[in-house]
Amino acid sequence: MGSSVSALPTRLLRSVVSLGLLLAALGLAALPARAAAPNATPGTVFSWGAPYADNLGRPASDTEPVPRPVCPVGAPVAGPCTDPLAAATTVSVSAFTGAVVVNGTVHTWGVNTSGQLGDGTRDDRRIAAPVCAIGATAPCTQYLTGARDVAALPDTVYALLADGTVAAWGSNGDGRLGAGTADADRTVPTRVCAVGASAPCTQYLSNIVSISSGGFSGGQMLALDSSGRVYAWGDNEFGQLGDGTTTDRAVPVRVCAPGQSAPCGSYLDNAVSVDSGATHSIAALSTGAVHTWGYGAAGLGTGSYGPALVPAPVCAIDAALPCSSYLTGITEVSGQTNTFAALDGSGNLLMWGDNFGGKLGDGTFTARAVPTRVCAVGQTAPCGTRLTGISEVGIGLGHVLATTSGGDLYSWGTNLQGQLGTGASGPDRLVPGRVCAPGAAAPCGEFMTRVVDIAAATASLAVRGPAGTDLAVTTTAAAQGLVISTVTVTATVANNGPAASTASTLTFSYPAGYTNPVAAGCTLDTTARTATCALPAIAPGASTVKTLRLTVGLLTVGTQLTVTAATTNTTPPDTVPANNSASATCQALTSLLVTC
């Protein structure tokens, strides 16, 4: 089933044509980027590709075919940044606006016609500056804090806050601010209302763990809470809110369960990942299944174009239609511009839908009605090997970005404005290839590494972590024995990346009252009461385990015995020292009874 312009609904076709004619002359198109999941490693923000509406975040507005830093407020009005925007954790970009979380604040840049920069004005801005606090007035002296995630539409921006609420600012078309009305735009943030609230709201959406913004012809939002419930609000012309209707919503509603019809009696309550595009939405469930709803110009992966007003299951890989088997084992999903992606637990990337620019990565320009595997680097169709080890994917208009768990960055699809980061504008790539290192020249000999977050639209954005790693320690303890009690403390050292840990140690420290330490492969110092263990190299996403066994002395009745395990001397340097140690405490109730 191929993509067909004639299959587009009338209102969407008008929107595509009117906006498309404006941007086609520039070789560009407007669309949102997916809201990336928050990451624990702060880094520097880079951008490349088409500079439409100053969304590259730099004074210069030329097409940029390799990554270069985004500039912060106070940067020179011309020339490169000498002090680029850093300490960023997650990034989002639309054709008009970029947004990034920096130390819990949100910084934005680009077009500001609807107040989407959140600075209390409608003045466009080429470089990044902080967003005002909720309810502030310009010129702002207080700024939004506690942000964990950010999602950008062309004219509306959202932030997920540490307290589980969502802030929104910019255009309020179709009620996309979730403020209970569809009236005035907001130039500073306001909180999104709770389900069933009415303006002026006094109760707000809460317990949210991720957010995702939808397309350029209307605008809707999805939010996922800690219990797996999915909420939606804004534009609903094609049923993309999943509440069984085509009614726009100015406050969040619950997404219905599969097979329901309005008014729904049960709701989706086991989602683990969600995303939304211009006219459709997608969710991965805790069962590993994937459901889509709304309208897809190249199909929803279910055997239907839609409109589907409630979620329906996505077919299995390369299934024949009508399908009788369905996708399983999926942990994360993405869906933008009539194209969908899914990651399974092994890092295999599946894609389906529109294949404009070759963005399905299967070596062809053929739209796919059901999921297919993305080819490996250097393959040609039909591909014999497939891309693996992927941890995140971002879908743009005609190109895709994907990162590995080790922080390597790949791109494929159209490269008309250098959005693939190959060092040149063109040619396109029908299968994945590496993105050049910042400032490199084609043909690149160095490539982008240590990437911890990505976003794609007409431009591409990435957060690059420092040249270090993040080792995190957790501990457990267990007691056993009747006459003489022993305690075994187990320490797990996990590498959160982005770099591999090649030289580090783990040191157990135990108090008086414990004797006879035993720790295989570790150096014991009974005077200092320590056991020092050399750790092997630990790849990003991997972990290693060390154990210490101790005997409980007879004179410890009624005391607490705490063992601490801590990593030291990490090469490369550890970037998050706060999680380098953990403790396990046991209680000696009697000389013969110890609990942990």
Q: What is the pLDDT of residues 234-258, one digit of tens each?
A: 999 999 999 999 999 999 999 999 9
> CB under 8 Å to 267, separation ≥6 — which residues?
229, 230, 254, 255, 256, 257, 260
pTM, to two decimals: 0.80
Say how many C-beta atoms besides its own lie within 10 A of residue 255's C-beta. Answer: 30
Amino acid at 305: Y
Domain locations in the chain as residue ranges: 5-27+95-414, 471-595
Q: Which two tokens stand for residue 408?
A: 């390597």
pLDDT at residue 179 tops 80: yes
Amino acid occupying residue 39 = N
Architecture (CATH level 2) of domain 471-595: Sandwich (2.60)
Check whether 333 has a pLDDT greater than 50: yes
Q: What is the mean pLDDT of residues 15-39?
A: 35
**Separate counts of helices (H) and strands (E) for the chain:** 1, 38
| pLDDT reading at 263 higher than 90 | yes
Q: What is the mean pLDDT of residues 383-393?
A: 96
| Model confidence pLDDT, tens digit, residues 424-462 | 998 999 999 999 999 898 999 999 998 999 999 989 999
Contact 211, 221 (CB under 8 A): yes
d(CA 485, CA 284): 47
CATH architecture of 5-27+95-414: 7 Propeller (2.130)
28 alpha-carbon distance from chain centroid: 24
Alpha-carbon span 367 to 415, nearest angstrom: 19
Please tell me the predicted confidence (pLDDT) of residue 18.
31
Question: Residues 108-165: pLDDT tens digits?
Answer: 999 999 999 999 999 999 999 999 999 999 999 999 999 999 999 889 999 999 999 9
Strand, helix or coil at 62? coil
Q: Where are the beta strands (DSSP E) in 103-171?
A: 105-110, 125-130, 147-152, 156-161, 166-170
How far apart (Å, rounded) are the C-alpha atoms in residues 413 and 65? 14
